[in-house]
Amino acid sequence: MIRNFSDHAANERTFLAWVRTAIAVMAFGFLVARFNLFLKIAAQSLAGSGRMMAVPGGGFGGVAGVVLIVAGTVMVAIAAIRFIRTERAIDSAEPSAEGAHVDLALAALMVVLGIALVLYLGHTLLAAL
């Protein structure tokens, strides 16, 4: 029988939750980047047919998509490091308390990106009116 099995199982579930979240963030980043590319191609297509259409915001959507993909990749790396550290702490006899500075920094980055995407979408929708 594995010593502290329930703690190790909880650690693994937490790791997998982090990985699922990171995959979702990367997929959303890919979607944002691809949609921005679609808008640029649509604008060029309409310009070729005689109608001028500018894509507001320029390349912000592409940059935001890449940043989200990088953030998701960083989340996987952080999840792996936390998984290993927690696994060692579970097996260790001495108690330890880890800080959550990296988690808070990552959450702050996601909030800033979310606000930036809302502002970008609002700007795009208002410019289309």
pLDDT per residue over 6-29, tens digit each?
999 999 999 999 999 999 999 988
Report pLDDT for 2: 74
Question: For 42-68, what is each residue's pLDDT tens digit?
Answer: 666 666 666 655 555 567 777 888 888
Report pLDDT for 68: 87
Q: What is the CA radius of gyration of the chain?
A: 21
pTM over 0.95: no
Instruction: Provide the 3-class DSSP secondary structure of residue 124.
Output: helix
Report pLDDT for 33: 80
Q: How far is CA 4 from CA 8, 64, 74, 92, in A?
A: 6, 42, 29, 11
Instruction: Kindly report the average pLDDT of the chain as a whole number.
Output: 79
Q: How far apart are CA 119 and CA 57, in angstroms?
A: 10
Instruction: Report domain extents, the chain.
Output: 5-128
User: Who wins on pLDDT, 46 or 123?
Assistant: 123
Report pLDDT for 46: 61
Report pLDDT for 9: 93
pLDDT for residue 129 is more than 70: no
Q: How far apart are CA 34 and CA 106, in angstroms?
A: 24
Contacts (Cβ under 8 Å, ≥6 apart) of 47? 53
Report pLDDT for 110: 79
